[in-house]
Chain A
């Protein structure tokens, strides 16, 4: 083991800022990162063991104990549950003989839950040793587990590859693109290099000017004007960095998955243009761990671009040097927050930074850094190619261009749609074949739960802004139980824990909504939930805490009847449920609770 670890560390220049990659390497080589490995890494990197553990313990896909030869990570986010995750889980447990959260006695199979893996249009889905298994059902699970028992490599269990580049020999994935609607910008026909050539034959100032005039605003959710961001960053002195945020962690979004699969050249071209504009020589693609299956393909695209001289030294003979490396994540939603992403890329725990300074002033390694979303860079490529004026003919007056939507949930055609900003929710629902809709979750858990009487509203930064996640919730769903509780569980798990309020309130609010769902809450509890959500919103460092109470606050506002139906109008109500507790304790000691139930019937 020792030699192997030494060679991993040396391959990364014995550089502590590459701790993420080092740990990922150790994890995939040994199936876990042992105490012995931690000690060795600390010595070699000249940092303390607690600093290794600080990173190691932060991310979902690192573990200190063996995860099993086959590690199944089942997506338990809202849409997976809607599409039948329960049966799949049940079948996995039946076939393996262990419950989720455990490994089989022989160490062969481990079953775990994980948050949204970016496959909401093909749920239930799971990652097995990093490979995506979509549209799971009982039969498929039986086949998979049977294969595991006889030691078939996971890769060989894939029966059919997906469409487009999913079938590329370097990707070999069963993922479907599900591109349902192409638009004029990112999903239209494209030839590599026109944008770069145009940018390099003009100058950085002109590129920024064009970007400003395009009115492109960030597609990652916050909607900050991209040209302005590049401008601010370019004004800082010294070394600059450009980073693409491909962390795509907001439950319900998967459009970056499709861009990375089908528009990787366009993305890297956009990063190169951005790098040229701000004066960066190095770019980083921060790719979420769940998309590891794309890594070899993306590396190959970079290689091809180097061969074609769109990357590397003296690009297109214009004297500009620029290259891109891929930084893998290790499973943490908060790493989508740009400053947490930067911390993570530096090998640390993904804790958002305090602002100021902003990343454009002090970002990666303390240098001015631009962080943009995948779709933002792709759009930039087209803007430089076709011009700001062209771009402004699309969309609304305040939201120029097109937007990719990831639409999933209770609809006939889940998938990716490139729409012009300004489409109404009604029109969107018609487009995706959705009927009997109870609500639409706009912009993911951190967005809003929208009721039908607001379906006339428009998808646009000035009305309903979104990073692209749209979850259609049908009449048959229990919003508080199936949606709100699930979202609050997600936030409680994903809070980085730095802010007192985010760390505690998300758990408290999670417990509060559980109490409502269980029918133990009183009116006062709902008032408290509202008041506490307010305090949380006002007192956190980053956007996670500022929006994590939205599942509760927007449903209290838009669906008060759901609360009224479950909440008792009394002054006091015990949280304690005798029956449930007896049942639970009977289960623990392995005794039937029948006697108690019989007694109850007799009393009644």
Chain B
């Protein structure tokens, strides 16, 4: 049996199992810590920094930090609400997002977080970066203008031999998501769908079918992001 531990988030008493990632342990206790790159049971990427919290006075990413006995975690403090809003704003100015024309609108985690943190006008200057769209593979559009570099596709989508279909290219501001032309040609419809589903934004889109669910009836059109976690434990 794994060891049970106790910790607090913003004063609320929580329980978890030792070694469990803080972000998951929080969710199990009905506390939503926002994430963009994290997915349960996947090796953490720790790249979006949305889940930054303070643990015993130190800033940590909740998706890479194991829960420990006696931790005092600060989550929804004005400091972190502002930092998270800033990160969302930053992603909007870094890429090129035109939500009304985006297939992911309403299902998009970034957009939903924009609403949650009530982003109006980003405080940062727009980067107006030029990013190339890749529509050359049979099943997928890669709409790089919307990529937030969460590495979910890199971590999840592999061919039968375990080779990566998606990978990073470049570094710093030249960073881009790259798709392997040869391996992508062997992707099944299910893989393409999975890739689209795990992409938190509208960067990976499956070709041919679109807008099956009308905008207005999508995931976050009916419930704010994180409310599933928060409503689970009242």
A15: interface (CB < 8 Å): no
Stretch at the interface among A44-52, A135-143, A260-268, A411-419: A44-52
Evaluate contact between B163 and A53: CB separation under 8 angstroms. Answer: no
Give the complex CA separation of A576 and B66 in angstroms. 49
Evaluate contact between B44 and A504: CB separation under 8 angstroms. Answer: no
Evaluate contact between A58 and B49: CB separation under 8 angstroms. Answer: no
From residue A549, how far is it (CB to closest CB) to chain B in Å?
Answer: 14
When distances are taken between beta carbons in the complex, the residues of chain B under 8 Å from A47 are: 163-164
Q: A497-B171, A539-B49 in contact; A48/B127 too (CB < 8 A)?
A: no
B83: interface (CB < 8 Å): yes
B183: interface (CB < 8 Å): yes
Evaluate contact between B172 and A493: CB separation under 8 angstroms. Answer: yes
Evaluate contact between A500 and B163: CB separation under 8 angstroms. Answer: no
| CB < 8 Å neighbour of B171 from A349, A505, A541 | A349
Evaluate contact between B170 and A57: CB separation under 8 angstroms. Answer: yes
Contact with A along B81-104 (1 / 0, CB 8 A): 001001100110110000000000
In the complex, how many residues of chain A place their beta carbon closer than 8 angstroms to a beta carbon of chain B? 40
From residue A59, how far is it (CB to closest CB) to chain B in Å?
Answer: 9
When distances are taken between beta carbons in the complex, the residues of chain A under 8 Å from B44 are: 354
Give the complex CA separation of A355 and B170 in angstroms. 23
B178: interface (CB < 8 Å): yes
A503: interface (CB < 8 Å): yes
Give the complex CA separation of A225 and B102 in angstroms. 52
When distances are taken between beta carbons in the complex, the residues of chain B under 8 Å from A48 are: 159, 163-165, 167, 180, 182-183
B234: interface (CB < 8 Å): no
B175: interface (CB < 8 Å): yes
When distances are taken between beta carbons in the complex, the residues of chain B under 8 Å from A58 are: 170-171
Kindly report which residue of chain B lies nearest to residue A53, judged by CB atoms: B169
From residue B87, how far is it (CB to closest CB) to chain A in Å?
Answer: 6
When distances are taken between beta carbons in the complex, the residues of chain A under 8 Å from B166 are: 50
Give the complex CA separation of A68 and B105 in angstroms. 47
B20: interface (CB < 8 Å): no
Evaluate contact between B163 and A51: CB separation under 8 angstroms. Answer: yes
Give the complex CA separation of A46 and B164 in angstroms. 11
Q: A535-B86, A541-B61 in contact; A53/B178 too (CB < 8 A)?
A: yes
A332: interface (CB < 8 Å): yes
Kindly report which residue of chain B lies nearest to residue A52, judged by CB atoms: B167
B214: interface (CB < 8 Å): no
Q: A48-B165, A354-B44 in contact; A539/B170 too (CB < 8 A)?
A: no
Evaluate contact between B87 and A500: CB separation under 8 angstroms. Answer: yes
Stretch at the interface among A2-10, A174-182, A506-514, A582-590: A506-514
Give the complex CA separation of A39 and B123 in angstroms. 44
Which of A487-525 touch B at CB < 8 Å?
A: 492-501, 503-508, 511
Evaluate contact between B49 and A500: CB separation under 8 angstroms. Answer: yes
Contact with B along A34-47 (1 / 0, CB 8 A): 00000000000011
B124: interface (CB < 8 Å): yes
When distances are taken between beta carbons in the complex, the residues of chain A under 8 Å from B87 are: 500-501, 539
When distances are taken between beta carbons in the complex, the residues of chain B under 8 Å from A426 are: none
Q: With a 10 A CB-CB cut-off, give which of A51, A332, A495 has the most chain B CB atoms.
A: A51
Give the complex CA separation of A49 and B159 in angstroms. 13
A365: interface (CB < 8 Å): no
Evaluate contact between A503 and B173: CB separation under 8 angstroms. Answer: yes
Give the complex CA separation of A539 and B48 in angstroms. 9
Q: A538-B52, A539-B59 in contact; A500/B47 too (CB < 8 A)?
A: yes
Given contact pairs A48-B180, A57-B170, A503-B149, a sample of 6 additional A-B residue pairs in the complex whose CB atoms are under 8 Å apart: A500-B90, A501-B87, A504-B127, A505-B90, A538-B52, A541-B46
> 5 shortest A-B CB distances, which residue pairs?
A497-B175, A50-B167, A354-B46, A354-B64, A48-B163
Pairs across A and B, CB under 8 Å, 12 listed: A46-B161, A48-B163, A50-B165, A356-B66, A495-B171, A497-B168, A498-B45, A500-B49, A501-B49, A503-B172, A508-B124, A541-B46
